[in-house]
Structure 1
Amino acid sequence: MEKLNTLAIDIGHNVNFDTGAIGIRKEDELNMEVGKELIDKFKATNINVINCTPYNAISLHDSLNQRVVAANKGKADFFLSIHHNSCPGGRGAEGLCLTGGIAEQVGISILNEIEELGLYNRGIKNRRDLFVINQTIMPALLIECAFCDSESDMNGYNPERVAGAIFNGICNVFDIEKDLSGSFNENQVYYNVVKGDTLYKIAQKFNTTVESLVELNGIKDENLIYVGEDLRIK
């Protein structure tokens, strides 16, 4: 049985320069609803959760990179990215990953649970071209929960039930016990320094303090940070 101590959850898009599809519902909103519900469900387990969703970004690459950095630096054992699809005539849920390993097993388990909700199971797709799958150092899976432009998918769509299906699918593979009081951290966040940043500006942006940033990152001179540097925020 594979062991899962820390799970990285990435709520897809939801940041400037990286917004999701718009159909009957907005993908950003659906991703956030499912992602928050999923994070909340893991509070009842002893699994540590890292929320990899950035607070802001200066480009699409920056958005994707921040998600990967948060997972890698947080030493997650598994990375899960929550998305919703969009394509005329499309319907159902699918999993995108490097096939042949634990990510595919988790994807199959999740899709089987989602199928029980009445959504079409589109199966697992081998996607070696996705940044968050290629750049994470742990097994990674992107779940397209449904099509946000499909009337059949969106009719009565329930994000909480979908989050429950994802939760059960993960628990089934990793044999996770539910309803336990244990460690939980949904706010471990890293930020990639850009031109013009200061510790004060970053602290204001993330509602923290310069002192906290200095302590978390072992900074010796608070006036000296570098473009491209990855700072832990929380």
Structure 2
Amino acid sequence: MKISKLAIDIGHNVQFDGGAVGIRSENELNYEVGIKLIEKCRAAGLTVINCTPRSATSLYDSLNQRVEAANNNNADFFISIHHNLCTGGHGSEILCIPGGRAEEAAKIILPEIAKLGLTNRGVKARNDLFVLKNTNMSAILIECAFCDSPIDMNNYNPENMAEAIFKGICRAFELNVSGHNGPTEQVNYYTVARGDTLCSISKRYGTTIEKIASLNNIANDDIIYVGQKILIK
């Protein structure tokens, strides 16, 4: 099964829709894994729709914006990135509506994640999750690890997680990628210094405020902080 347009949703990370907090913040982990995964997929030649909202007025609005971004852009497949929380739990699992393309892809992607040394908790049926039942295309939700588990969070590496998911995507969707030699973009990170604004940063790098805000899921263009790492392309 081949695709050309992939919808990737970085779970939570918006007002009214915050993630779990354990040893690590789910918002932070989702973002780190999601951004790296988007970069890898785009470098491999896929068109990627980042479905993460910049702002929301309610939980429903947050979830609905993610679904609409995928549906309105006619994505071929939808992946939502999350991290679990449950005292005593550990490992990785993928949630989907059973049967068909979603379950097939999940059963290919999850073993790649397990190769990182995380317990394979299996592909689990979930017919109730908003983003799974309202997308027009097949969809999966990846619970990468437990953010409250010392077992999972010890030496947890978002780059390795993104790479494992990417390898699974390549296998599931028959992407012929050798050493990530697809079309690539120069990726830069800028560390915010005192006095910086998105306007001044965008002018320095010849881009726009809107593009920087979208790449970094910045809901309020006026709020950045000293030491913040800003992704710039």
Tell me how large the CA RMSD over aligned residues is. Answer: 1.4
Give 2:128's aligned amino acid.
D
Alpha-carbon offset, residue 207 of structure 1: 4.7
Unpaired runs of 5+ residues, structure 1, are 184-205, 209-234
**Could you tell me whether the CA contact under 8 Å between 1:94 and 1:123 is conserved in 2?**
yes
Alpha-carbon offset, residue 181 of structure 1: 1.7
Between the aligned partners of 1:21 and 1:180, the Cα distance in structure 2 is 35
* Residue 171 of structure 2: aligned partner: 172
- Cα deviation 1:113-151 (Å, max 9, x = unaligned): 111100000001110000000100000000000000000
**Could you tell me whether the CA contact under 8 Å between 2:2 and 2:175 is conserved in 1?**
no
TM-score normalised per structure 2: 0.77
Give 1:33's aligned amino acid.
E
Moved beyond 4 Å, runs of 4+: none
Between the aligned partners of 1:156 and 1:182, the Cα distance in structure 2 is 29
* Residue 143 of structure 1: aligned partner: 142
- Identity between Structure 1 and Structure 2 (%): 59
Give 1:155's aligned amino acid.
N
Between the aligned partners of 1:50 and 1:140, the Cα distance in structure 2 is 14
Kindly indicate whether residue 68 of structure 2 is the aligned counterpart of residue 69 of structure 1. yes
Unpaired runs of 5+ residues, structure 2, are 186-207, 211-233
- Cα deviation 1:172-192 (Å, max 9, x = unaligned): 011112222289xxxxxxxxx
* Residue 31 of structure 2: aligned partner: 32
Between the aligned partners of 1:148 and 1:181, the Cα distance in structure 2 is 33
- Cα deviation 1:178-229 (Å, max 9, x = unaligned): 222289xxxxxxxxxxxxxxxxxxxxxx955xxxxxxxxxxxxxxxxxxxxx
* Residue 112 of structure 2: aligned partner: 113
Q: How does 1:16-27 map to 2 (within 5 A)?
A: 16-27=15-26
Between the aligned partners of 1:100 and 1:136, the Cα distance in structure 2 is 15
Q: How does 1:118-137 map to 2 (within 5 A)?
A: 118-137=117-136
* Residue 40 of structure 2: aligned partner: 41
Alpha-carbon offset, residue 44 of structure 1: 2.0
Q: How does 1:1-234 map to 2 (within 5 A)?
A: 2-178=1-177, 179-181=181-183, 207=209
Between the aligned partners of 1:207 and 1:62, the Cα distance in structure 2 is 24
Name the SS for the 2:136 alignment partner: coil
Name the SS for the 2:95 alignment partner: strand
Between the aligned partners of 2:62 and 2:84, the Cα distance in structure 1 is 19
